[in-house]
């Protein structure tokens, strides 16, 4: 079954709805209705929505996997604030305090959201709970339960024409949005030409430095008249969208990116829980099935456990007895297997050294030759270690200068690639103790 998504965009004077396939931005079909705003606006909206849904149903679209609702930004209180942090969750938490005294008192309270504008600026959004309840009741009465409620105003910045470099604006019949380097800098829903004029004038006074303006076809001359010094171009919508369906297109683009950082008013008491409840039921059902499977396996496993446990205990006793036979000097035996592995590793290392055979004997021969060639230096070697192409010897000589003579004598021998004195200190009776490391030529060891 196809997973169809319904997007309903309610504007100041229009209602657009589109059905989309998951992951696409072109509508499978779309329907539109105008809103006059005169008389009983609630009744008009209900009738328009019912008419649009009937239109979609007649074209074969009645059941929807997901419903998104965009409401007019004029239903919201929008204010730009400067805050010392840009963590969106923290911003939303402090908005009730920041907006205290600035909002018209509401008996039911507000739902708060935020849009980060960069440079420490935040657009604070507040919507009366009564308004949200009204929209939810309207859609629920028609069998729809939106999982997301926002405004297309906050998705306009996703239009491809506004995602390039520089400062670019979109001017529509209902909204003005300015974007700089892909980040919204100014957003306002307008309700007429005078409101549009004031919005454009405000952007100019704020020094936003508009470089280009996109608008709807047919509005180019009007916008050029208001902003004669700025390039104005018409925005082209993909096939299938209503003539004034910019908001619908913008939300579909935003949806393709998972509605990332979107303004979603379904929070708190209005949170959409249907998906969470379904996921919870699925988890419970999975848990029950797992418990049944575990129960079936447990009986067989219990029998096997007692049998294997006896075998393991017998094996452990045999291992301990065998270990103590091999190493009777060991008194503290905690983990026979681990300690046996350590012993084997030590034996392998010793075997590797002994297997070097001729190389080690040759080193001893070269050391003896140095002693014989320097009888007056009192050279005596007391310890030798060989590993991985290196030989370290310790011993004593008559004086400090003798260590250099001994090192130079060994360095001149082609058998050694490098000879280093790693430690020299004065010992008893005026002797000098030394530690010497010699790196053998590759064929030496």
Sequence ranges of the domains in the chain: 4-159+238-272, 161-234, 283-346, 356-440
CATH for the 4-159+238-272 domain, from 3.30.980.10, 3.30.565.10, 3.30.420.380, 1.10.3720.10: 3.30.420.380
Q: Evaluate whether 4-159+238-272 and 356-440 have a shared fold.
A: no
The model's pLDDT over 104-153, given as tens digits with 9 standing for 90+, comes to 877 788 999 999 988 888 999 999 999 999 999 999 999 999 999 999 99
What is the maximal distance between C-alpha atoms in the chain? 121
In whole numbers, what is the pLDDT of the chain averaged over residues?
85
Burial 366-377 (b: 16+ CB within 10 A, else e): bbeebbeebeeb
**Structural contact between residues 7 and 149, judged by C-beta atoms closer than 8 angstroms:** no
Residues 161-234, CATH architecture: 2-Layer Sandwich (3.30)
Q: Of the candidates 33, 46, 101, 104, which has an alpha carbon nearest to the alpha carbon of residue 75?
A: 104
Q: Which fold has domain 356-440?
A: Gyrase A; domain 2 (3.30.1360)
Q: Note the pLDDT of residue 371.
A: 87
Asked whether residue 445 carries a pLDDT value surpassing 50, the answer given is no
Q: Of the candidates 104, 158, 96, which has an alpha carbon nearest to the alpha carbon of residue 131?
A: 104
Q: Note the pLDDT of residue 275.
A: 64
Report helix, strand or coil for 426. strand
The model's pLDDT over 24-56, given as tens digits with 9 standing for 90+, comes to 899 999 999 988 765 556 889 999 999 999 999
Q: Of the candidates 408, 402, 409, which has an alpha carbon nearest to the alpha carbon of residue 380?
A: 402
Report helix, strand or coil for 204. helix
Tell me the torsion sign for CA atoms 9, 14, 15, 20.
negative
Q: Note the pLDDT of residue 444.
A: 43
Whether the predicted model's global pTM rises above the 0.75 cut: no
Write phi, then psi, for 343 (nearest 5 degrees).
-60, -45
The model's pLDDT over 430-441, given as tens digits with 9 standing for 90+, comes to 788 999 998 888
The model's pLDDT over 371-406, given as tens digits with 9 standing for 90+, comes to 888 888 888 998 988 776 788 999 999 888 888 888
Asked whether residue 70 carries a pLDDT value surpassing 70, the answer given is yes
Whole-Å CA distances, 138 to 44, 50, 150: 12, 10, 16
Asked whether residue 272 carries a pLDDT value surpassing 90, the answer given is no
Q: Which DSSP state fits 37?
A: -
Asked whether residue 358 carries a pLDDT value surpassing 70, the answer given is no
Report helix, strand or coil for 118. strand
| Mean pLDDT value across residues 200-211 | 81
């Amino acid at each position: 079954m196809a997973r169809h998504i319904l997007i309903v965009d309610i504007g100041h004077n229009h209602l657009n709805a589109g059905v989309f396939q998951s992951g696409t931005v072109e509508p499978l079909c779309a329907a539109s209705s105008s809103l006059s705003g005169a008389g009983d606006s609630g009744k008009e909206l209900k009738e328009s929505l019912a008419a649009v849904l009937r239109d979609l149903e007649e074209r074969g679209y009645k059941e929807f996997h997901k419903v998104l609702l965009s409401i007019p930004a004029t239903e919201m209180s929008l204010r730009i604030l400067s805050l010392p942090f840009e963590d969106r969750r923290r911003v939303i938490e402090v908005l009730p305090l920041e907006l205290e005294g600035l909002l018209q008192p509401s008996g039911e309270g507000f739902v708060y959201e935020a849009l980060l504008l960069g440079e420490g600026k935040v657009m604070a959004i507040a919507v009366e709970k009564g308004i949200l309840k009204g929209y939810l009741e309207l859609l629920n009465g028609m069998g729809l339960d939106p999982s997301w409620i926002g405004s297309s105003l906050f998705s306009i910045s996703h239009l491809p024409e506004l995602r390039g470099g520089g400062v670019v604006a979109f001017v529509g019949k209902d909204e003005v949005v300015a974007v700089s380097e892909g980040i919204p800098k100014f957003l306002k829903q307008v309700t007429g030409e005078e409101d549009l004029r004031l919005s454009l004038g405000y952007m100019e006074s704020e020094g936003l430095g508009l470089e280009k303006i996109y608008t709807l076809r047919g509005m180019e001359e009007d916008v050029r008249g208001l902003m004669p010094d700025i390039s104005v171009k018409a925005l082209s919508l993909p096939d299938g969208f209503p003539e004034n369906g910019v908001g619908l297109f913008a939300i579909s683009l935003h949806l393709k990116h998972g509605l990332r950082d979107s303004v979603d008013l379904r929070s708190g008491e209005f949170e959409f829980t249907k998906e969470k409840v379904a996921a919870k039921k699925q988890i419970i059902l999975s848990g029950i099935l797992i418990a049944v499977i575990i129960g079936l396996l447990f009986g067989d496993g219990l029998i096997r456990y007692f049998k294997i446990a006896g075998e393991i205990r017998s094996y452990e006793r045999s291992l301990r007895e065998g270990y103590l036979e091999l190493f009777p000097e060991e008194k503290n035996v905690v983990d026979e297997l681990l300690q046996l592995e350590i012993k084997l590793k030590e034996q392998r290392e010793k075997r590797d050294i002994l297997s070097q055979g001729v190389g080690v004997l040759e080193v001893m021969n070269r050391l003896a030759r140095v002693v014989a060639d320097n009888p007056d230096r009192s050279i005596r070697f007391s310890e030798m270690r060989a590993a991985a192409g290196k030989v370290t010897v310790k011993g004593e000589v008559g004086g400090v200068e003798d260590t250099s003579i001994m090192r130079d004598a060994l360095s001149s021998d082609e058998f050694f690639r490098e000879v280093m004195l790693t430690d020299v200190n004065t010992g008893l009776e005026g002797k000098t103790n030394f530690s010497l490391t010699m790196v053998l030529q590759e064929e030496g060891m």
